[in-house]
């Protein structure tokens, strides 16, 4: 039987859907959602919720003890675009929250951790096409630096203290249930909303900016599948490359136009263009395929179909 799970940062783009999926899989009372703020009504009403600051070790420990938590999913973080505006706040949040959960596991108060890294861990000197698991990594953003440091610390805690920490480098994520939280790939969600609401969209990235992307259902499935894998199958304790599809604003525009022919996009790249230019355009995730049978289900056109259908309905 699944022991209790705590999700930190549960009200965000990923946390909301992850919480709902874990609750439907393991039972509502088994999954404790937490965040520094309240989230969507569906999330709040679906099971236990605690207001909890991921940078406060004592507060997390109290919740862990109270609910006899066994696994923690750490989804609280400041994302790439926002982090460029508040570098020290981003560093403090992204690193201290990670140390808190790693230290809880080191102290044997919890037994398993999920912590997400990102394609932002790569940098402008990384080969861009089919980027391999182990390549040169010189991230040039605050967010990317925090993810790279986080990966090193995860591997260190595994090797040194036997902490069972698991991680993937998420690509940009597309979802309709919760709006994205200040990342460089947010355009790929906004564009669907604006296509339906206004019939046009002003894109903050140039039209040929190809980035690795993934539909949220695939990301949630990957996360849970990695967490359920036998520990002995996992050869990577920093973070697994995770791939699905790669496209740029022009490709997503064409995909939307096959449903909404009059849809128009204007390109006005801003500071986020430079961040996007430092990231890979596609990802080699053969390690994830080999170690835990990773395989994506959604391509761009099936994503577009899901996004437009669901946004129209809700």
Secondary structure (DSSP) of 123-182? -TTS--TTB-SS------SHHHHHHHHHHHHHHHHHHHH---EE-EEE-EEE-SSS---S
Of 93 and 195, CB closest to ligand NAD: 93
Pick 108 or 153: Cβ nearer ligand NAD = 153
Task: Give catalytic residues, as residue numbers.
Answer: 143
The span from the CA of 154 to the CA of 102, in Å, is: 8
Shortest distance, position 199 Cβ to ligand NAD, whole Å: 25
Say how far apart CA 222 and CA 71 lie, in whole Å. Answer: 17
CA–CA dist 289, 118 (Å, integer): 18
Shortest CB 149 distance to ligand NAD, Å: 13
Q: Which two tokens stand for residue 209?
A: 């900016």
Cα 253 to Cα 264: distance, rounded to the nearest angstrom? 8
Q: Which is nearest to 187 in space by CA: 272, 102, 75, 288?
A: 272
CB of 66 to ligand NAD, least distance (A): 17
**Distance, CA of 294 to CA of 283 (rounded, Å):** 13
Residue 53 or 284: which CB sits closer to ligand NAD? 53
Nearer to ligand NAD (CB atom), residue 56 or residue 257: 56
Are the beta carbons of 158 and 133 closer than 8 angstroms? no
Q: Which is nearer to ligand NAD, 72 or 308 (CB)?
A: 72
CB-based closest residue to ligand NAD: 12
Query: What are the start-end ranges of the H helices in 172-215?
Result: 187-197
Q: What are phi and psi of 32, to 5 degrees?
A: -95, 115
Could you list the residues that contact ligand NAD (CB under 6 A)? 8-9, 11-15, 35-37, 53-55, 75-77, 79, 93, 116, 118, 170, 172-173, 180-183, 185
Strands 264-267 and 71-74: unpaired
Cα–Cα distance measured from residue 97 to residue 54, given in angstroms and rounded to the nearest whole number: 5
Sign of the alpha-carbon torsion through 16, 17, 23, 24 = positive
To ligand NAD, the closest distance from the beta carbon of 47 in angstroms equals 16
Instruction: Give the nearest distance from C-beta 21 to ligand NAD in angstroms.
Output: 13
Q: How far is the CB of 224 from ligand NAD (least distance, A)?
A: 14
Helix (H, G, I), strand (E, B) or coil at 56: coil
Nearer to ligand NAD, 37 or 313 (CB): 37
């Amino acid at each position: 039987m699944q022991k209790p799970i705590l999700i930190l940062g549960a009200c965000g783009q990923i946390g909301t859907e992850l919480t709902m999926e874990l609750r439907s899989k393991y039972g509502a009372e088994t999954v404790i959602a937490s965040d520094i703020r309240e989230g969507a009504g569906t999330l709040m009403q679906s099971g236990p919720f605690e207001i909890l600051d991921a940078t406060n070790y004592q507060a997390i420990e109290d919740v862990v003890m109270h609910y006899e938590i066994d696994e923690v999913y750490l989804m609280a973080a400041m994302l790439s675009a926002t982090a460029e505006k508040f570098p020290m706040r981003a560093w403090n949040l992204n690193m201290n929250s990670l140390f808190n959960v790693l230290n809880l596991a080191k102290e044997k108060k919890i037994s398993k951790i999920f912590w997400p890294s990102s394609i932002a861990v790569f940098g402008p000197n990384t080969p861009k096409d089919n980027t391999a698991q182990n390549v040169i990594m010189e991230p040039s953003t605050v967010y990317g630096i925090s993810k790279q440091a986080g990966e090193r610390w995860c591997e260190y805690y595994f090797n040194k203290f036997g902490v069972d920490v698991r991680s993937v480098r998420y690509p940009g994520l597309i979802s309709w249930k919760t709006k994205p939280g200040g990342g460089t790939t947010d355009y790929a969600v906004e564009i669907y909303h604006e296509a339906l609401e206004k019939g046009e969209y002003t894109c903050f990235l140039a039209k040929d900016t190809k980035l690795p992307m993934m539909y949220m259902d695939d990301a949630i499935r990957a996360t849970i599948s990695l967490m359920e894998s036998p520990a002995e199958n996992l050869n990577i304790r920093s973070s697994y490359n995770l791939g699905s599809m790669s496209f740029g604003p022009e490709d997503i525009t064409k995909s939307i136009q096959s449903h909404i022919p009059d849809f128009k996009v204007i390109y006005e790249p801003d500071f986020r263009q430079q961040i996007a230019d430092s990231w890979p355009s596609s990802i080699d995730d053969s390690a994830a395929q080999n170690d835990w049978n990773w395989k994506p289900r959604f391509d761009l056109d099936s994503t577009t179909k899901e996004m437009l259908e669901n946004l129209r309905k809700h």
